A and B are shown apart, each in its own frame.
Chain A
Amino acid sequence: MRFGSWAVIATLVALVGLLSYGVASKRTDTSIDEAVAAGQRIEAPEMDLPVLGQPGERTLSDYRGKVVVLNFWASWCKPCTEELPLLERTQKRIAPQDATVLGINYKDVSGDALGFVRRFRLTFPTLRDRDGAFAELYGSRAFPETFVIDRRGRIAAQRRGPVDQRWLDRTLPPLLAEPA
Chain B
Amino acid sequence: MKLLALLLVAFAAAPASLPDVEDEVMCVECGTVLNISNSPVADQERALIRRQIAQGRDKEEIKAALVEEYGPGVLAMPDEGGFGLAAYLVPALLALLAAGGLAVAARRWRRRGDDGPPATGPELEPADDRRLDAELAAYDR
Contacts and interface: CB of A to CB of B under 8 A. Distances in A.
Interface of A: 4, 7, 11, 15, 18, 21-22, 25, 74-78, 107-110, 112, 130-133
A7 B41 contact: no
Given A25-B83, A109-B44, A11 B72 contact: no
A132 B104 contact: no
B15 interface: no
Interface of B: 28-29, 40-41, 43-44, 48, 69-73, 82-83, 86, 90, 94, 97, 100-101, 104
B86 A130 contact: no
A76 B41 contact: yes
B70 A131 contact: yes
Contact of B86 (A11, A18, A109, A131): A18
A112 B100 CA distance: 54
The 9 closest A-B pairs by CB, nearest first: A131-B71, A76-B40, A76-B44, A107-B28, A76-B41, A130-B71, A109-B69, A131-B73, A25-B83
21 contacts: A4-B101, A7-B97, A7-B100, A11-B94, A18-B86, A18-B90, A22-B86, A76-B41, A76-B44, A78-B40, A107-B28, A107-B41, A109-B69, A110-B69, A131-B28, A131-B70, A131-B71, A131-B73, A132-B28, A132-B29, A132-B73
B44 A130 contact: no
Contacts of B48: 109
B41 A74 contact: yes
Given A18-B90, A107-B29, A131-B72, A77 B83 contact: no
Contacts of A75: 44
B70 A107 contact: yes
Contact of A7 (B40, B43, B69, B101): B101
A76 B28 CA distance: 12
A7 B96 CA distance: 12
B83 A21 contact: yes
Contacts of B41: 74, 76, 107
B118 to A, nearest CB: 27
A131 B70 CA distance: 5
A6 B86 CA distance: 22
B53 to A, nearest CB: 15
Given A76-B41, A109-B69, 15 more contacts: A4-B101, A4-B104, A7-B97, A7-B100, A11-B97, A18-B86, A76-B40, A76-B44, A77-B40, A107-B29, A107-B41, A108-B69, A109-B44, A110-B69, A130-B70
A76 B43 contact: yes
Contacts of B71: 130-131, 133
